[in-house]
Structures are given as C-alpha cells and as structure tokens.
Amino acid sequence: MVIDTDILIDFLRGNAGARDFLLSLPDDAMPSCSAITVAEIYAGMRDSERKKTRELLESMTVLPVTAEVAELAGTLKRDMTGFDLSLDDCLIAATAVTEAVHLATRNSKHYPMEQVKLRVPEYI
C-alpha cells in the first residue's frame, strides 16, 4: 500500500487517528510511499520533527520515480482534462498504479483517476 503525504504528515503531527490507521494495516500491506512524498514531507517539515520524520521514513519502503512511473504520471496529467491535478499527485498515483497496490489518502479529490484504487481512512 502506498501511503499519501497527508496521512504521514498527520502521523508526524501526532494525530491519533493517523497513528491508529498505520498500526492497523495488515502485515502484508507493506506500507510504502513515493519518493515524491519524501520530498513533500521534507519541504514542510518542522525542525522539531526531523528525528521522528527520519525514523518514520526509514521504517517504510520508499518507491522511486521510474521511467514507467513518470510516463504514466505524464499521461494521467495530460488525459485528465477538467481536473486541476498537480504533477506531484499524478506521480504518487502512478506509483500506486505501477506497483498494483492501493493508495491510502484522505485527499480523494486529488486522485479522480479510475486506475487508482483508493483507501480512505475515516479518522479526523
């Protein structure tokens, strides 16, 4: 399962729902994130979160942006006319599609692509 940036930020900021969601994942869910998520997290990281951020990311598989992921992301961005999609979100979506796993996010509106299998946690 690819975990989106929003859930990891919630976890890092102490949201109990995000923590419970991540801890509830079955062992075979193999939590991972896109390399794009790593960049987004570090871009918005508070100095006080540095150690916790590093520990969290070291506990996950970070999936690279391969040529296949980049091609699919570009295609999604180009083909999804009528949606204001960021290239970062298209890269994260393409990572999940390429890995053939669900994308866990609370920002389902960022991922209207039919190829993306979403898992939306219900915490606040």
Mean of the per-residue pLDDT values of the chain: 95
Q: Residue 77: inside a domain, yes or no?
A: yes
Q: With cut-offs at 50, 70 and 90, classify the pLDDT of residue 28.
A: confident
User: 105 is in which domain, residue-wise?
Assistant: 2-119
Strand ranges across the sheet with 61-63: 61-63, 32-34, 2-3, 103-104, 118-119
pLDDT at 27: 78
Q: Residue 38: inside a domain, yes or no?
A: yes
Q: Using an 8 Å Cβ cutoff, are 1 and 31 in contact? A: yes
Q: How many residues make up the chain in this entry?
A: 124
59: domain CATH number? 3.40.50.1010
Q: At what angle do helices 16-24 and 5-12 cross, to 10 degrees?
A: 120
pLDDT at 74: 98
Q: How many domains does the chain have?
A: 1
pLDDT at 112: 97
pLDDT at 8: 97
Q: Mind listing the pLDDT tens digit for each residue in 77-123? A: 999 989 999 999 999 999 999 999 999 999 999 999 999 999 999 98
Residue 15 CA neighbour count, 13 Å, CB half: 16
pLDDT at 29: 78
| The token pair that represents 104 in the structure block | 């866990």
| The token pair that represents 2 in the structure block | 């690819």
